[in-house]
Structure 1
Amino acid sequence: MGPSGGRCSRWNSENTRPFREARGIEWAARPALLLSSASARPVFMASSARSPAPRAAHADTMWTRLPPLARHGVCLGIFLVLALSFYSPVVFEGNTFQGGDNTTFRANAQVTIEHHEQTGEWPRWAPNVFSGMPYINYKTAVTQLDDVVSMARSVAWPVGHLFVLMMGVYFLVFYLTRNQFSGLLSGVAFGFTTYIPIIIAVGHNTKFIALAYAPYVLLAFAYTLRNPSAWGSLLFAGALALQLRAKHPQIVFYTGMLLLLWWGVEVIGAVREDRVPALATSTGWLGLGTVLGLCMAAHPYLARYEHKQFSVRGAAATAGGGDGGGGGGMGWEAAMRWSQGPGELFTFAVADAFGGGGQTYWGPKTFTEGPHYLTGVVLSLAGLAAWKVRTWLVWGLGLATLGTALFSLGKYAAWINWPFFQYFPFFDAFRGPEMWLSITALTLIVLAGIGLDYALRRDETQSRRQRQQTDPRQRPILIAFGVVFAVVGLVWLAPNTVLDFEKPNEEQRIRQALLRQNPNVSPQNPKVQQAVRQQVRKLKEQRRGAFSTDAQRTLLFLALAAGALVLYRRRTLPAWGAGVAVVAVVAIDLWGVDTRYMNEDRYSPGGTEQTIPTYQFDQFIKQRQQEAGGLGRFRVLSLAEGNPTSTARPSYHYESVGGYHGAKLQRYQDYLDHILRLTERGGPNENALDLMNTRYIVARQQLPGTEVAYRSEQSGVLVLENPDAVPRGFLVGETEVVDGAEATWEQLRDSSFEPRRTALLPEPLDAPVAPIDSNSTADVTLEQYEPEEIRWTVSTDAPRFFVASEVHYPAGWNAYLDGERVPIHRTNYLLRGVHVPEGEHTLEMRFEPAADRYGRWIAWTSTILVYGGVLTLAGLRVRRRWFEEEAADEADAS
């Protein structure tokens, strides 16, 4: 049922009222409806307001005769049928999505998956991407409710989580309205708003899962505001933990901002209506629930937060030679990329207002997969709720809608985003402001459910004569739908007054493309100018036509939904008929648009790994890796596919110097930018390649200092061998202290620097090292290489310094010399180094992040506390009711 503890059916059941009244049972105070739509002034979800709002008039129909639980079952059954039908190619045909993020994740996680298949353990360090980084495929070790849903993921993705999402929205809106059709409308609308199938198709799985649990967080929040108690606090903690464990902190942060804006409105209402003590109590319980929820998600978040401090998402700068940690976020320009253009908000009502997605998109963003389409019907009903349902709840959701929409504008609304970016905690840690619209969509859809409830309610206190007169709610419904209809209709009739249908700088790009095709033609040639204008004119006509088609489509569905509601208000159509009609209109509308972005081109037969190509040169390198002994023998830099930091494909096959990840280590980013220097002419720096044990380079032309090891007959791609690459572990006889990052980078780039002879350190060693000459003994043998454990045998006739060509990450890697822990020194800016005394030794490096260990203990303890508390309180509640019913029966018998 949801966090309401299974009482939703009791609140909506008229059959149980005589039973309770006849026995005089003193039931626990029922939460009053959160809406008081008959009231002319704002009404808070007040604890003092115990009388329900006027209920909808229901004729004696098959629907009203169904028990409440059966009605819920029908609605949930509709969700399941819709989800299975829409994603039938995945569920019934065994296909997978071809999304880029799906393949990127699989490529990055390949080594961890193979290790799990061999050992049954999930490693926390992936050595195959960016020369090694933590938490690529981080598995939570604490069992919670989301694991039950995830069990079906391998056979029912994404249907299981989509059903959870729609069910959550359904119970949230039902809790607020006690109207099944309102919940049904909102569940369908959010489950099929275009953003959901788009992010599923491209592989933004964690984002989708976090959105699936967002309605439960809102439901628990609303319940605790109404019912301040330990019960509400524990439910909020559990819901928050579920969303956190989806591992998409950006959506969690956005959901928190929604709740903060909502809570701010409730504060205003509490002050105006002298309810501050009650709200303070609710806030206290919510605060406790927040702390418990964070503790329940300490695994994985404690380790992830630690990782963030060393990543490009958290390290403001590393100049000066620190450990790469820092509390800052990304810069303004990087964070504000993919700001939503103000005019693009019109796609809420008309899907192709800005050309849809892919090549057809002509808006201000660099590109987009598709619009945020909600349907004109949803907007009309949301507007109806905001206008006529005057409660603090609705005003809170309205402020959250406005706030999140403004945040989505990013740089186009710098007047609000810049202060938040500068001063609000964690606001600067996230990029892509457009993502805020996923929360805007949720609030609008919840408001739409409230609006439908308003449209379907009748005041049974009216006399027969009053009912025969004009229905007082018919006019607001017509106005709400009429406003959206008029706006869309006016833009449709005169589109050029609002939309220019031209992408920014489009003429310049077309001109440059024409000149590249005809290099001997002058840019001032009149024929070039004419060709550019013709091409732009043709594109604009196509875009105008697509907009016109979708605008007409929106107008048609608005008329159909408004017509169904008017027929109901005129008592021509029953309530269930009007509700079904509105839900059907929205479902058909969204389904039609969604199929543009979830079509057959999105599917691929077989598993995700089958969508990752394997070329001839991949097979050659993998054969060399197998001959050398597997992992830990060499790395590969792939230049043949363009920028090696924009693709993860090579990481699927072998250990890569490049990769693709949004939270790579800042120190490694410095290596790419300042030492390897891929963007400069003349190819990558040779010392940089040597330092990272780069044995092979995949390129289309030979680079200095390399030898051709393989040439692909099909593509002509070369595999170049770098004979100077250092081994994964080696000894040097000299160390040099270099102060500052810039000086270190400069020396590492210098062709006179010899990484096999000298190690650069930020601080002096406590013990000396001896030089290595032809008579010295300085041998290193790699004995074992696994993602989280590396072991060497080191033999030296004098104290030396051991350099591991492994990325330095101080928040987890420990070194053990003959079983005794020894310090790891940051070496050559980004590698690991250990001082080794004379003799033969066993040197081990193990990944043992303390944050992971502490996170497990905290998460297990808090999970047992919260889940145990929920079960205990539920048991006490059932026991109390059983005793009350027994007492009532004894009273009747006497």
Structure 2
Amino acid sequence: MKEFFKRFGVYIVAAVVFIVVAFAYCFPVLQGKVIYAGDNLNAECASHEAMEYARTTGDHTWWTGSMFCGMPDYQIGGGQYKTDNWLRPLTAIFHRGHAHTAWVFIIYFICFFALLRSFDVDKWLSIVGALAIAFSTYFIVIIAAGHNGKTSTIALISVVFAGFYLIFRKKYALGAIFAMVFTAIGFSTHPQMAYYIFMMIGLCLFGELYTHIREKRMKDFAVATLIFIASVGLGMGTSCSNVFANAEYTRETMRGGHSDLTKDDAAANTKGLDLDYATQWSYGKDETFSLLIPGFMGGASTMNIGKESDVYKTLISRGVTPQAARGFVEDAPMYWGDQPFTAGNVYVGAIICFLFILGLLIVKGPYKWTLLLATLFSICLAWGHNWMGLTEFFFKYFPLYNKFRAVSSILIVAEIAMPLLGFLALRELMQDGVDRKKMLAKVGIAGGITAAL
């Protein structure tokens, strides 16, 4: 028993910490409360007819008359194809039951913990790191918005990244299992989020290629690459019915370059979304500082700032009635960025930004540069119409990129890459035999750069 706790005790502690933190943060779910998420309500309304048909007849309908004067319904809950993947029901934890919000956080914690452990970050440090990544504001905002597909894909596909790293460290079996199983579970729930994370993995693949060429280990590179591709391919294969159904459906929509419901068929020349439409939610260049400074461009588009706010007091002092003033501050406009509206900005944390800069100074190897490139890449692409030249290039020449809207959501790459490099920096600081004097100097430099920003 003593040996068991010595070996697995930290994982038991991690599980307890994750559960306690998740339910403490989401305490209202223990009182039977649920988050009012607009997208969830819309999805329930859209799929109600198909669900009722299945409940009363035991069969699936492939058509709904309640949307757009009639349309196929297998994208909104109808049909059989989504149940063909036996692993897919595991994602139900992301949207079933009143306590699902807490369980989403627990899955976040577990997946990000697995990612950090695959990079040989200390077990105890990985617990802290998992919490730090999961509490990046965007990962919380999408829960409140009801973007269940995003939450599950971000968490699960991050473990595919862990599998990629393990395979290239010659831990083929565990890496292949991670890549295959978590691709199978997470890929089809939100292809856009999976696409972005696979872009980051692609950059890391070039880093591995450079390292293997320099070390003259091209055979190892070829073996690892083939194992990873095969693992991901098998994982995606379990979602074939979903992927092919999406592909077939897409051809008749805006994303496929044709829609009878689109005025003048504006997307026809691009075989994808209209560029202006796809870049409506573009992150402002100034808004990028929200990664470091919370509320740099305000908060959500509307927020309840309360009766203790200066706004409320000013309204009262100007003769506004208490009822009118209260109504205003309960729904006050608090965002002045470039996006049409938002539920909140992307904040990874000042400490994470400091650790990220420290990682650039002390972490060795190709992943320092690939994670930096991934971060910069995601920021620049998130700017959308604020850097139209780059965005238009990707829309025209990068496969499938023009199928996605809300380009600002690619910042999920930065939200994973920045804390990952930051905790790799802490891993370096904890190594035996490091030159403490040099390390302290670099810590000071990183702190100075962060403060200057």
Q: TM-score, normalised by structure 2?
A: 0.84
Does 2:302 align with 1:345?
no
Q: How high is the sequence identity, in percent, across the aligned residues?
A: 24
Does 2:344 align with 1:405?
no
**Closer, same or farther in 2 for the Cα pair 1:394/1:121, shift >3 Å?**
farther
Q: Mapping of 1:72-91 within 5 angstroms?
A: 72-90=11-29
Does 2:73 align with 1:99?
no
Q: Name the aligned partner's letter for residue 396 of structure 2.
A: Q
Structure-2 residue corresponding to 1:442:
416
Q: Which stretch shifts more, 152-161 or 204-213?
A: 152-161
**Alpha-carbon displacement from aligned partner over 1:378-418 (angstroms, at most 9, x marks no partner):** 11111111221111123222221121121111122233222
Structure-1 residue corresponding to 2:53:
115
**CA separation in 2, counterparts of 1:78 and 1:376?**
23
Structure-2 residue corresponding to 1:310:
252
Q: Mapping of 1:731-880 within 5 angstroms?
A: none
Q: Mapping of 1:644-663 within 5 angstroms?
A: none
Q: Name the aligned partner's letter for residue 6 of structure 2.
A: P
Q: Mapping of 1:287-686 within 5 angstroms?
A: 287-316=229-258, 328-358=271-301, 359-459=333-433, 471-487=437-453
Note the C-alpha offset of 1:225: 1.7
Residues 377 and 481, structure 1, Cα contact 8 Å, conserved in 2: no
**Closer, same or farther in 2 for the Cα pair 1:268/1:171, shift >3 Å?**
same
Q: Name the aligned partner's letter for residue 131 of structure 1.
A: C
Structure-2 residue corresponding to 1:164:
107
Q: Which stretch shifts more, 377-386 or 448-457?
A: 448-457
Q: Which stretch shifts more, 398-407 or 150-159?
A: 150-159
**Alpha-carbon displacement from aligned partner over 1:509-551 (angstroms, at most 9, x marks no partner):** xxxxxxxxxxxxxxxxxxxxxxxxxxxxxxxxxxxxxxxxxxx
**CA separation in 2, counterparts of 1:287 and 1:420?**
23
**CA separation in 2, counterparts of 1:265 and 1:437?**
21
Note the C-alpha offset of 1:188: 0.7
Residues 257 and 269, structure 2, Cα contact 8 Å, conserved in 1: yes
**CA separation in 1, counterparts of 2:108 and 2:254?**
32
Note the C-alpha offset of 1:456: 3.0
Q: Name the aligned partner's letter for residue 105 of structure 1.
A: A
**Alpha-carbon displacement from aligned partner over 1:269-294 (angstroms, at most 9, x marks no partner):** 22222122211111111221232122
**Closer, same or farther in 2 for the Cα pair 1:451/1:145, shift >3 Å?**
farther
Does 2:89 align with 1:150?
no
Residues 404 and 440, structure 1, Cα contact 8 Å, conserved in 2: yes
Residues 355 and 422, structure 2, Cα contact 8 Å, conserved in 1: yes
Q: Name the aligned partner's letter for residue 263 of structure 1.
A: L
**Which is higher, the Rg of structure 1 or of structure 2?**
1
Structure-2 residue corresponding to 1:547:
none
Residues 53 and 59, structure 2, Cα contact 8 Å, conserved in 1: yes
**CA separation in 1, counterparts of 2:404 and 2:253?**
13
**CA separation in 2, counterparts of 1:291 and 1:239?**
12
**CA separation in 1, counterparts of 2:225 and 2:401?**
23
Note the C-alpha offset of 1:316: 3.9
**CA separation in 2, counterparts of 1:339 and 1:262?**
25
Note the C-alpha offset of 1:299: 2.6
Q: Alignment partner of 2:223: what SS?
A: helix
**Alpha-carbon displacement from aligned partner over 1:313-372 (angstroms, at most 9, x marks no partner):** 1134669x99x9998101211111111111111001111110111111011222211110
Q: Name the aligned partner's letter for residue 432 of structure 1.
A: A
Q: Name the aligned partner's letter for residue 198 of structure 2.
A: G
Q: How large is the Cα RMSD of the aligned pairs? A: 2.7
Count matched residues. Answer: 413
**CA separation in 1, counterparts of 2:349 and 2:175?**
34
**CA separation in 1, counterparts of 2:275 and 2:132?**
33
Post-superposition, which runs of at least 4 consecutive aligned residues in structure 1 deviate over 6 A? 324-327
Does 2:9 align with 1:70?
yes
Structure-1 residue corresponding to 2:63:
125
Note the C-alpha offset of 1:143: 4.8
**CA separation in 2, counterparts of 1:435 and 1:210?**
13
**CA separation in 2, counterparts of 1:239 and 1:227?**
19
**Alpha-carbon displacement from aligned partner over 1:128-168 (angstroms, at most 9, x marks no partner):** 11122222115622354452452683253122232112111
Query: Greater share of helix residues, 1 or 2?
Result: 2
**CA separation in 2, counterparts of 1:228 and 1:390?**
21
**Alpha-carbon displacement from aligned partner over 1:214-266 (angstroms, at most 9, x marks no partner):** 221111111112227466435412221211132x1110111111111111122
Unaligned runs of 5+ in 1: 1-14, 17-65, 463-469, 488-894
Residues 133 and 415, structure 2, Cα contact 8 Å, conserved in 1: yes
Which residue, out of 158, 164, 185, partners 1:221?
A: 164
**CA separation in 2, counterparts of 1:126 and 1:442?**
39
**CA separation in 1, counterparts of 2:242 and 2:37?**
25
Residues 385 and 391, structure 2, Cα contact 8 Å, conserved in 1: yes
**CA separation in 1, counterparts of 2:131 and 2:88?**
22
